[in-house]
């Protein structure tokens, strides 16, 4: 289902509900102009929305509702209970259509009839003179008149009269072969040309068309007085298509079409010969014209449901016996006294319903009286007595009902040949009798999406965070049980409990994360426009390729991604991609390509922005960086091209020769970097001169829970985000070398600088060594560098919710935040990037 339709459905449900509510409120305050205004607005909007799609059934009903409410609003008709009923009916119908659309993405043609009837009933409430203004209504009234009078056969007369012999013979043979033919009389509204209709086209496209004829239904004026855009034509059509197909074909104009099933006798040659303008087919001596009344397209209540209640079958008496004996059993139970009242009420309800079902409201009242008695006396005999007394009677009542239903003919849904009694359209019945077998109370709409306030989700998030902290306390408790109280068994059990709680909490956290997930398309969708506008402004020819728009990540991540991405795209367009002329000179395609791809890699989202522009020249970057004092001379020699290119993220560097209004003020890329890093992301750039530039942004899926490795130094615990941890190793002290002031070691053939965490944090203690004279080294990486941190020991890895340092502490750059541990202690999380 396309997103627009999905949104339409969810909005329609909201509106339908809103309309229902407003109608209810109006019952209390019928004169409230504000409410009526609001109601009108709701119906109007819903109608407008439905018009965006091809749901004429829905639009038709809502349009009638809107007109009606418009009059209420203007005070031309008063609000009434009846009006509310019909509008509610209309709303139910809309709900029904929504369910249809949701299931099949279309509205079944069978709804056309209902929609016409419903619109009819709504319009029936409007004052008669209001029919005049719209041509549509005049036309429709004429059509109704056609149905009501025997003269409706007249068109048939002329039809069969005009029918060429060959067509007639063909139709007759088809009709005799058992194909049901239909005669259609299609009279378009006189202003139909203004609505873009071409009735002739519609008529020509009629499925199964055997023959057709156009005739003016009122004398055509002389050429001089002719109004070109007023349609006065009627189409007579003979078709072999089934009724459903025809209804589908004329679904936009059902009120302008009348349809009759053709009796083969009408087509018989002798009839046709006899037939003349005054002697229509089928109206000879033994048949009165009225018996040939055409069936209008909307079939009025002929297949309405029989009145409530409905007995199902002969098995019912048996079932009834079972039900009754079950009630007796319940009444004889001793049970707990506190639930006695509830039991009695339940039994009484069952009995009362049974009596109601048997068509005996008096018995139902008896049950109620007996219940009241039983409740007050505390004895159950009265209800028991009632069951015994009424059992026989109920059984008989149901048996009789089942019998009468069996002998009743099936609902008259079958096609009645002309000559038998076709139920007459009865306007009064049409008005009360419109039921859809589903009322608002049982039309359970199940919205598939919820709109939830973000604050509620955040609260859930916080709660789950606290739950995690509490959960993490369990292992400590287990430890204490063992160490302090010496109960190993208990400790083991606590650990077992912890394992299962851990699993549930993890799952719960995952579920809440899912709620917060948003597709990157939210951010991506603005790029086509942005790229188009910018490239035109810059005189460049750019093709944008978006991929992986469905990739999801936490809402906060996605939202904070928007600005950096726009910066990057601007930079690519401004600095990266060349003008068509330059590209041609370089032997590239004139149209540059900018591709933005999103993909999920493990627990991270990677977004790649690639252009096939001129790339970044590392030499230029190095020189600029040196000029601006961002790197010293030594670095100028040392850094390789890749590192040089990544210098574009340094603050205050702009490579553009001219500062444009797009970019080039040197604030672009470092803003990007800091924005990305703020959400624990990384950004790297890869570029080949002349070939293009690729930026890769890697972001966590969610920033709520951080996986942290706990380490120990000088008796204190610290956390290091797992994103920064490369590995943990034990290095023999002999393998640690001092080069000048700094310590290093060789790890798998690579020199790794070492730093003692104690030194960094200003703790006056030396790193501890284990009995084997080894040092614990935590290999961390940040900003492309790897460093070994000398610590005292490693602890477990835990997931926790990191809280930023607030107040005075926020100035401590060595820490990125703090978190609460399971035992209540505070764990400081190291900001690896700052300390290396």
Partner 1 sequence: MAIQFKKNRIVFHEVVGVEEAESLLEAMQGNSSSKVDLAACTHLHTASLQVLMAGRPAIVSWPRDAELRAWIETALGARS
Contacts to partner 1 from residues 287-346, by CB under 8 A: none
Helix, strand, or coil here: 789? strand
CB of 231 or CB of 606, closer to partner 1: 231
Q: CB of 265: closest distance to partner 1 in angstroms?
A: 24
Q: CB of 223: closest distance to partner 1 in angstroms?
A: 5
Q: How far is Cα 387 from Cα 354, in angstroms, rounded to an integer?
A: 11
CB of 42 or CB of 210, closer to partner 1: 210
Taking residue 203's Cβ as centre, other Cβ atoms within 10 Å add up to 21
User: How is 374-410 classified by DSSP, letter by letter?
Assistant: HHHHT--HHHHHHHHHHHHHHHHHHHHHHHHHHHSPP
Residues 6+ apart with CB under 8 A from 80: 125
Q: CB of 663: closest distance to partner 1 in angstroms?
A: 50
Contacts to partner 1 from residues 668-687, by CB under 8 A: none
Q: CB of 209: closest distance to partner 1 in angstroms?
A: 9
CB of 191 or CB of 482, closer to partner 1: 191
Q: CB of 237: closest distance to partner 1 in angstroms?
A: 11
Helix, strand, or coil here: 35? helix
User: How is 631-657 classified by DSSP, letter by letter?
Assistant: S-HHHHHH--HHHHHGGGGSTT----S
CB of 226 or CB of 310, closer to partner 1: 226
Instruction: Find out whether 267 and 182 touch, Cβ atoms under 8 Å.
Output: no
Helix, strand, or coil here: 116? helix
CB of 252 or CB of 794, closer to partner 1: 252
Helix, strand, or coil here: 125? coil
Sign of CA dihedral 440, 446, 452, 457: positive
Helix, strand, or coil here: 833? helix
Contacts to partner 1 from residues 430-459, by CB under 8 A: none
Instruction: Find out whether 686 and 694 touch, Cβ atoms under 8 Å.
Output: yes
Token reading at 555:
């809402």
Q: CB of 217: closest distance to partner 1 in angstroms?
A: 12
Q: CB of 246: closest distance to partner 1 in angstroms?
A: 18
Q: CB of 198: closest distance to partner 1 in angstroms?
A: 5
Token reading at 318:
């048996």
Contacts to partner 1 from residues 3-32, by CB under 8 A: none
Q: How far is Cα 631 from Cα 622, in angstroms, rounded to an integer?
A: 8
Angle at the Cα of 286 from the Cα atoms of 281 and 291, rounded to 5 degrees: 65
Residues 6+ apart with CB under 8 A from 529: none
How many residues of this chain interact with partner 1, rule: CB under 8 A? 25
Q: How far is Cα 34 from Cα 361, in angstroms, rounded to an integer?
A: 43
CB of 179 or CB of 197, closer to partner 1: 197
CB of 188 or CB of 564, closer to partner 1: 188
Contacts to partner 1 from residues 580-639, by CB under 8 A: none
Q: CB of 168: closest distance to partner 1 in angstroms?
A: 14
Closest CA to 835 of 715, 736, 713: 713
Q: How far is Cα 139 from Cα 234, in angstroms, rounded to an integer?
A: 12
Contacts to partner 1 from residues 105-164, by CB under 8 A: 162
| Matching residue, tokens 């991540």 | 557
Contacts to partner 1 from residues 173-192, by CB under 8 A: 188
Instruction: Find out whether 801 and 470 touch, Cβ atoms under 8 Å.
Output: no
CB of 213 or CB of 340, closer to partner 1: 213
Token reading at 197:
């209709």
Q: How far is Cα 31 from Cα 803, in angstroms, rounded to an integer?
A: 55
Residues 6+ apart with CB under 8 A from 796: 709, 710
Percent of residues in the chain assigned helix, strand, coil, to nearest 5: 50, 20, 30
Q: CB of 267: closest distance to partner 1 in angstroms?
A: 18
Residue 283, CA distances (Å) to 71, 154, 785 in order = 45, 10, 101
Taking residue 359's Cβ as centre, other Cβ atoms within 10 Å add up to 14
Q: Cα 555 to chain center, whole Å? A: 18
Interacting residue with partner 1 among 131, 193, 626, 794 (CB under 8 A): 193
Q: How far is Cα 158 from Cα 171, in angstroms, rounded to an integer?
A: 16
Sign of CA dihedral 40, 41, 46, 49: positive
Residues 6+ apart with CB under 8 A from 665: 654, 659
Q: CB of 138: closest distance to partner 1 in angstroms?
A: 18
CB of 203 or CB of 494, closer to partner 1: 203
CB of 157 or CB of 560, closer to partner 1: 157
CB of 214 or CB of 599, closer to partner 1: 214
Phi, psi of 737 (to 5 degrees): -115, 150
Q: CB of 137: closest distance to partner 1 in angstroms?
A: 21
User: Site mask, partner 1, residues 196-235, x = CB under 8 A?
Assistant: -xxxxx--x-------xxxxx---xxxxx-x-xx-xxx--
Q: CB of 513: closest distance to partner 1 in angstroms?
A: 57
Q: Where are the alpha helices (DSSP H) in 163-197?
A: 165-176
CB of 169 or CB of 457, closer to partner 1: 169
CB of 193 or CB of 626, closer to partner 1: 193
Q: CB of 183: closest distance to partner 1 in angstroms?
A: 15
Q: How far is Cα 552 from Cα 143, in angstroms, rounded to an integer?
A: 56
Angle at the Cα of 105 from the Cα atoms of 102 and 110, rounded to 5 degrees: 95
CB of 199 or CB of 788, closer to partner 1: 199
Token reading at 125:
């409430």
Contacts to partner 1 from residues 335-394, by CB under 8 A: none
CB of 192 or CB of 720, closer to partner 1: 192
Q: Is 75 exposed, middle or buried (0-12, 13-18, 19+ CB in 10 A)?
A: exposed
Does residue 195 touch partner 1 according to CB under 8 A? no
Residues 6+ apart with CB under 8 A from 663: 567, 570, 571, 574, 575, 654, 656
Token reading at 224:
């001089």
CB of 209 or CB of 330, closer to partner 1: 209
CB of 229 or CB of 485, closer to partner 1: 229
Is the link from the previous residue into 309 a cis peptide, with omega within 30 of 0? yes
CB of 196 or CB of 486, closer to partner 1: 196
Contact residues for partner 1, defined by CB under 8 A: 162, 188, 193, 197-201, 204, 212-216, 220-224, 226, 228-229, 231-233
């Amino acid at each position: 289902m396309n997103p627009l339709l999905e949104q339409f459905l969810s909005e329609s449900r909201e509106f339908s509900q809103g309309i229902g509510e407003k109608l209810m409120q109006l019952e209390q305050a019928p004169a409230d102009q504000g409410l009526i205004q609001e109601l009108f607005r709701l119906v109007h909007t819903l109608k407008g929305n439905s018009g965006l799609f091809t749901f004429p059934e829905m639009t038709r009903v809502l349009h009638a509702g809107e007109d009606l409410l418009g009059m209420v609003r203007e005070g031309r008709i008063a609000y009434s209970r009846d009006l509310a009923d019909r509008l509610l009916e209309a709303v139910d119908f809309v709900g029904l259509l929504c369910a249809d659309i949701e299931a099949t993405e279309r509205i079944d043609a069978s709804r056309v009839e209902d929609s016409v009837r419903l619109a009819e009933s709504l319009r029936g409430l409007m004052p008669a003179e209001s029919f005049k203004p719209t041509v549509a209504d005049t036309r429709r009234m004429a059509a109704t008149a056609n149905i009501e009078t025997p003269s409706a056969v007249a068109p048939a007369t002329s039809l069969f009269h005009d029918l060429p012999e060959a067509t007639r013979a063909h139709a007759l043979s088809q009709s005799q072969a058992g194909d049901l033919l239909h005669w259609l009389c299609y009279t378009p509204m006189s202003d139909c040309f203004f609505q873009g209709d071409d009735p002739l086209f519609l008529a020509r496209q009629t499925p199964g068309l055997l023959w057709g004829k156009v005739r003016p239904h009122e004398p055509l004026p002389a050429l001089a007085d002719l109004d070109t855009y007023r349609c006065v034509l009627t189409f007579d059509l003979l078709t072999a298509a089934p009724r459903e197909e025809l209804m589908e074909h004329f679904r936009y104009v059902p009120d302008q079409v009348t349809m009759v099933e053709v009796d083969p006798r009408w087509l018989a040659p002798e009839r046709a010969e006899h037939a003349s303008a005054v002697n229509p087919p089928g109206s000879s001596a033994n048949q009165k014209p009225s018996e040939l009344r055409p069936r209008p397209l909307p079939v009025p209540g002929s297949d309405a449901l029989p009145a409530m209640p409905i007995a199902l079958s002969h098995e019912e008496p048996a079932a009834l016996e079972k039900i009754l004996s079950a009630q007796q059993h319940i009444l004889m139970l001793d049970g707990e006294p506190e639930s006695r009242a509830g039991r009695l009420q339940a039994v009484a309800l069952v009995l009362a319903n049974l009596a109601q079902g048997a068509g005996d409201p008096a018995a139902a009242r008896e049950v109620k009286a007996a219940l009241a008695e039983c409740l007050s006396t505390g004895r159950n005999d009265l209800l028991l007595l009632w069951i015994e007394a009424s059992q026989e009677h109920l059984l008989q009542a149901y048996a009789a009902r089942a019998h009468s239903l069996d002998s009743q003919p099936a609902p008259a849904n079958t096609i009645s040949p002309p000559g038998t009694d076709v139920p007459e359209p009865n306007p009064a019945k049409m008005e009360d009798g419109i039921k859809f077998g589903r009322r608002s109370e049982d039309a359970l709409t199940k919205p598939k999406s919820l709109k939830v306030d973000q604050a509620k989700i955040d609260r859930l998030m916080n709660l789950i965070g606290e739950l995690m902290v509490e959960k993490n306390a369990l292992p400590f408790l287990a430890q204490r049980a063992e160490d302090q109280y010496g109960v190993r068994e208990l400790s083991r059990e606590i650990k077992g409990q912890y394992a299962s709680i851990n699993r549930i909490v993890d799952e719960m956290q995952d579920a809440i994360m899912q709620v917060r997930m948003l597709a990157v398309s939210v951010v991506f969708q603005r790029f086509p426009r942005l790229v188009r506008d910018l490239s035109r402004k810059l005189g460049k020819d750019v093709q944008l390729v978006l991929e992986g728009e469905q990739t999801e990540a936490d809402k906060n991540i996605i939202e904070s991604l928007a600005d950096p991405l726009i910066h990057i795209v601007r930079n690519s367009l401004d600095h990266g991609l060349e003008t068509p002329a330059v590209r041609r000179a370089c032997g590239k395609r004139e149209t540059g390509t900018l591709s933005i791809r999103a993909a999920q890699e493990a627990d991270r989202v990677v977004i790649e922005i690639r252009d096939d522009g001129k790339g970044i020249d590392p030499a230029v970057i190095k020189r600029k960086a040196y000029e601006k004092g961002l790197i010293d001379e030594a670095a100028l020699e040392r850094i390789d091209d890749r590192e040089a290119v990544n210098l574009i993220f340094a603050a205050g560097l702009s490579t553009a020769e001219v500062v444009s209004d797009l970019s080039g003020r040197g604030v672009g890329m470092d803003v990007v970097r800091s924005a990305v890093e703020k959400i624990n992301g990384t950004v790297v750039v890869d570029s080949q001169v002349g070939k293009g530039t690729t930026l890769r942004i890697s972001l966590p899926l969610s920033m709520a829970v951080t996986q942290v490795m706990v380490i120990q130094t000088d008796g204190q615990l610290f956390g290091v985000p797992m994103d920064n941890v490369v590995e943990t190793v034990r290095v023999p002290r002999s393998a640690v070398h001092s080069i000048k002031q700094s310590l290093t070691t060789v790890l798998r053939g690579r020199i790794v600088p070492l730093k003692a965490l104690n030194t960094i944090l200003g703790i006056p203690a030396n790193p501890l060594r284990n009995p084997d004279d080894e040092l614990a080294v935590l290999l961390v990486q940040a900003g492309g560098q790897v460093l070994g941190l000398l610590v005292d020991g490693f602890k477990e890895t835990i997931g926790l919710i990191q809280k930023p340092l607030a107040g005075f502490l926020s100035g401590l750059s060595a820490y990125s935040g703090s978190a609460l541990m399971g035992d209540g202690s505070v764990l400081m999380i190291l900001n690896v990037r700052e300390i290396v």
